[in-house]
Structure 1
């Protein structure tokens, strides 16, 4: 309370505690962990890669930051991860799992930005048009297999039909920022590899936090234009 007896101005509303729910899919149960904003205007759905889960540093950073800026973040674990398997299934199975989860994401009644990292980014790109995604966020998009630039997946990235942002590590062996098509919107994370880890040698103690700050700030600014 203020000294004059009036109510103190309300500060920013605190995001809600994370909530997890399972969703049935043709490949088994998927899991959605919600990091909801107190007053959301968008939902950002993020899928994981083929070599890890939603504990990836970039996904955790976005889930921890964006709800404070009006964006609810839904971290989506594909059925193979929920089942404890180590090897991701074929792309078609990943797409089917994402499609099955989509009604839950859209059920918030808000525009849904479809996103993910690595293989999850490819899923988001391939399914954006049919699912009616508001936009696509592609983190560490695997433009090509390491050392095989001729096997480009640029068609998936450019075929979303909606605004698409790529956030890419400067030394990602699956495609460095300069390798992407000129008409792609790309943000570079200096020194970042495919997992956005930065080299420890020669870097300051805050280098990793600085790299994550590039990711969260660039995505937040991009979403503010949505």
Structure 2
């Protein structure tokens, strides 16, 4: 059973899951545009990785630290990415453990994480992207793929077949643009929230990450 500590210092606002055993890796995990780091999905994923020996830091993005509710403003997305970089710096200094450093996020958080990794090769060793928001619902022409050809960080991408932000075919086509190794996990019938009650999202994600990132 992992222990969970509240963290509220510097750029890091969230929760740290420490596994019972010596950690084999660290995952910094953040949320989507309409929530914070204390969602059902993020708590379940964090618990699952911690049970596998991974230290997990669930953290709030900069826009959520500024205010408790409301979506991020596109004009300030760079601030969210800068906040991610600060969190990773803290992970490497204040919460350093052996093994790879991974970065993950749900929806908007995953997109900003992937953009940060594309802009800063070597920032992290791998990505865990939950419900990547490839385009706005019902607007498939507005693809968010500009940075993908520059993404040299391996990634596990978790997708629901009924996600309105992308079809499975669209996600696969987008991943074909990524030069790094990627692994796509599809859950038939799952929506953007990736219900951990209905689907084995946690178990499959941990297994895929363990295989791809070798921890």
TM-score range, shorter chain: 0.7 to 0.9
Q: Which one of 78, 96, 109 corresponds to residue 120 of structure 1? A: 109
Counterpart CA distance in 2 for 1:24 and 1:160 is 28
Deviation beyond 6 Å, 4+ runs, structure 1: none
- Contact 1:23–1:32 (Cα < 8 Å) also in 2: no
Q: Which of 130, 134, 145 is residue 143 of structure 1 equivalent to?
A: 134
What residue in structure 2 maps to residue 95 of structure 1? 81
Task: Report the 3-state secondary structure (helix = DSSP H, G, I; strand = E; otherwise coil) of the residue aligned with 1:155.
Answer: coil
Larger Rg: 1
* Native 8 Å contact 2:101 2:125 kept in 1: yes
1:32 aligns with 2:23: no
> Could you list the runs of 5+ residues in structure 1 that have no partner in the other structure?
1-13, 198-207
- The alignment's TM-score, normalised by the length of structure 1, stands at 0.79
1:105 aligns to 2:103 (yes or no): no
Q: Out of 34, 38, 61, which is 1:51 matched to? A: 34
* In 1: Cα distance, 2:24 partner to 2:153 partner: 18
How many aligned positions are there? 196
User: Is 1:165 matched up with 2:186?
Assistant: no
Shift of 1:157: 4.1
Residue 185 (1) aligns with residue 183 (2): yes
- 1:62-110, CA deviations, whole angstroms, 9 ceiling, x for partnerless residues? 1122111111111011233234242323211111111121111122144
Could you tell me how far apart the structure 1 residues matched to 2:38 and 2:9 are?
19
Q: Which structure ranks higher in relative contact order (CA pairs < 8 Å, sequence separation ≥ 6)?
A: 2
